[in-house]
Structures are given as C-alpha cells and as structure tokens.
Amino acid sequence: MSTGLYGIYHSNRSENNHWGKNCFNSSFPTSLACYMLDRNINAIYITLDIINGHLKVVPREIPIRQVFNCGDKTPHDLYFSFESVFAPYQQYSFDSIDGIDLVVKDTDGNYLSPLEVKLTVIPTSQTSTQTEDKWGSELVVRAATTSYCALGMFDTIKDHARNVREIFEEACSSIQMWDNDYEMTHKIPYLCDAINQFQLQYYTNQKPLLMQTLWKTQGQSPILADQAFDIVVWSDYAFSRLFLDNSALPADTMRRGMRASARLARCLWELSKSGRIRITDIYRQMAFGNQTDKEFAVGGSLWRKYVTTDRVQNLAINKNVVNEIIEPGYIDRLMPERRFDQTLYFTMRGNT
C-alpha cells in the first residue's frame, strides 16, 4: 500500500500519520534516505579520527545501507519503526529505556539500526548574514539521543568491559554525589580526560547515531535552493564531541555540555562494572537545575566548525527530486504551519 513517500513500504505509521505534526520531520528524512539508498548516493559522514595523535572530527562519506545497517537489502525489505525502543539496548538497563526517532528493522523483525532523526534548515538566521561558505544549521538535542550514544558505545565494546572500567575507575570512583553541582564542576575535567582516553582506544568502533537531513533555502527567503537536500550522518563518537569539547574548561556551575559529559562518563563506568544500569535514574538525578528533556543545542556557526565539507555549499539532491520523494497529490496533506511545510507546500504547488 502506498504511503505517499518514496521507499517507506513497511512502517508503524499509517498513510495519514506521515503528514501530521512532528511526524513529517522524521518520515521525510527517512524517505530521502531510501531515495539515496536506491541510487547509491552517499551521505556526508561526520566521524572521529586521530590526527597527529589527537582526536579530531572529520567529514567523510557513508553509504545509506551502512547507516541503516541493512546489508544488501532494499527499502522493500525494511520496516521503519518511528519513535520506538531499540530493543537490543534494553539489556543494559534495569529501567525502561527511551524510544528513539527511528528504529530500522527488516521485514522479519530483526533489529538493524537506531537513529535519531533531525530535519534542519540551512542557513540559520545567525549565519545567513555571512558568506555562503560559513552558512550552518542548528541542532537541538534531546536527552534520549545522548543516552543512546552511551548505550551504543558500550554495546560495541562490551567484551572489553574490564579495560573500560580501568580507564574510568580513578576519575569516577572518587565522586561522592553525582548530582552535586560544586563537586561535579571540579571533577568534570577528570571525567572528560577519561572519555578522551576511552575514545582514543575505541574510536574504530563508532557507528551512525544521528541522521540530520538538511534543506537549503536561498538565504532567509522561503524559496528552496536549486540543490536543496542532503543528509549529514553523525557517528556516536563524533556527536559526543559536540558536548565534550570545551566541557573541561573551568566553570562556576554545571553547563548543559558538562552535564552531558558527566552522564556519558557515569554510564560507561557503571556499565563496565555490572553491564546493567538504571539509565533513567541517572538522567533524572543529574539534572543540575536544567530541563531533563532538552540536553543541549548547537548553533549554526559552531555546527559549521564540525561539518567542514565543501558539500554543504552544493548539496547532493536537487529540489525537483521532491516530486519523486512525495507522490502526486500528497503535498496537499501537509499542514503549512512550520517553515519547511510552508516552503514545500507553496513552492511545489506553485510549480504545478
């Protein structure tokens, strides 16, 4: 049965649900990824590497089939479960883990990949006043994303738990109260150093975590750029640098990035000791007076410092591909209340 979106043949969303509020923002990126999968168009891959002995975030490319972890399967063989729990990670937590934006399975029910999905515009209002080579996109990150980052990191190295414990033991075992602002601001440099040592040893185990679909406009206008779409995939290790970098700097109180770093260190340490933690309790306890659902945000200029590829200036997918990704007649189901909906609704209907 048609869903109106390219490549989504099997899903936990009904045909009508793809177009509703908060659903289109993950359904459209999934459809675009299926389009790129079928045409062997690689995504941009933001990954962590060691350059001259130091950890550095670098851009590469990655096939969508590696992002979906689907081997030689086609979209017809895949089941897209939105806002669902990636069941293989539940073994690492006594309490129920959160859902993630997209869980990719095959039609036999085998779990393949958990992905956080973002649909973001480029440029932001902040970067639109600069030259196009400095245009960037914004990321707003949920706590669920960082918890999946921690669980995914441990999942790939669980056979090395004893060594991981040795890396974190000195920094973590001395902490008396993980929710004490004063203590944690003084201990965070040691936690960050332990995470750095961990990543230096195990960075080759990184895997896709966040699939960020870009849509590009002509500056701040609502008109799509000619080369309008692309996908930036962040590995779990590269994603973690968004909050780890600068977290070790002196501070009087715990900032959001420092909180995310402390949570990651605690999760990896406790998992290395027992293989199972109460992850919900960790995230609820270590709030430090901030919202527990929103983890942190990255502005367009900072984003561009990590996404350094020139491909951002000339995205891979032409705006006319919208007519292949969204089947005829379905564009009218959009509710033009958000900026991307408005751009598609008015631009594409104006071309018919």
Phi-psi region of 53 (alpha: psi -120 to 50; beta: other; left: phi over 0): left
Given a cut of 80, whether residue 219 has pLDDT beyond it is: yes
The answer to whether 215 and 343 are in contact (CB under 8 A) is: yes
Among candidate residues 340, 296, 315, 301, the one with its CA nearest the CA of residue 136: 301
Please give the residue that has the higher pLDDT: either 338 or 123. Answer: 123
User: Does the pLDDT value for residue 343 go beyond 90?
Assistant: no
Query: Of 35 and 222, which is predicted with more confidence?
Result: 35
17, 336 contact by CB (below 8 A): no
Residue 339, pLDDT score: 60
* pLDDT, tens digit, 9 for 90 and up, residues 248-288: 888 899 999 999 999 999 999 999 999 999 998 898 889 88
Percentage of the chain with pLDDT > 70? 93
Read off the pLDDT of residues 186-201 as tens digits, 9 standing for 90 and up.
999 999 999 999 999 9
pLDDT at 129: 92
Residue 293 clears pLDDT 70, i.e. is over it: no
Domain ranges of the chain: 17-350
Asked if residues 232 and 216 have their Cβ atoms less than 8 Å apart, the reply is: no
Banded model confidence at residue 289, pLDDT cuts 50, 70, 90: confident
Backbone angles phi, psi at 42, to 5 degrees: -70, 150
At 325, the pLDDT band (50, 70, 90 cuts) reads very high
d(CA 257, CA 254): 8
Q: Which two tokens stand for residue 121?
A: 């515009």
The stretches of 8-63 forming alpha helices (DSSP H) are 24-38
Q: Are 41 and 317 in contact (CB under 8 A)?
A: yes
Report the 10 Å Cβ neighbour count for 107. 12
Closest-CA residue to 282 (of 273, 272, 271):
271
Q: Which helix (H) or strand (E) holds 59?
A: strand 54-62
**Number of alpha carbons in the 13 Å side-chain half-sphere of residue 65:** 12
What is the spatial distance between Cα 291 and Cα 140, in angstroms, rounded to a whole number? 13
Q: With contact defined as beta carbons under 8 Å apart, do 302 and 185 qualify?
A: no
303, 137 Cβ separation under 8 angstroms = yes
pTM value is 0.93
Q: How many other β-carbons are positioned within 10 Å of the β-carbon of residue 77?
A: 14
Measured distance CA(244)–CA(251) in Å, rounded: 14
pLDDT for residue 290 is more than 70: no
Cα distance between residue 12 and residue 215, in whole Å: 25
CA 178, CA 286: separation in Å to the nearest integer? 7
Check residue 288 and give its pLDDT: 85
Residues 6+ apart with CB under 8 A from 17: 23
Alpha-carbon gap, residue 254 to 260, rounded angstroms: 10
46: Cβ–Cβ under 8 A, 6 or more apart, which residues?
57, 58, 59, 232, 233, 234, 235, 238, 239, 306, 307
Res 350: pLDDT: 58
Q: Is the pLDDT of residue 316 over 90?
A: yes
Confidence of residue 347 (pLDDT cuts 50, 70, 90): low
How much is the mean pLDDT over the chain?
Answer: 93
Q: Match 């933001």 to its residue by tokens.
A: 46
CA 104 – CA 271 distance, rounded (Å):
25
Residue 1 confidence (pLDDT):
59
Summarize pLDDT for 46-96 with one digit per residue, the tens: 999 999 999 999 999 999 999 999 999 999 999 999 999 999 999 999 999
At residue 66, what is the residue type? Answer: Q
Q: What is the pLDDT of residue 345?
A: 64
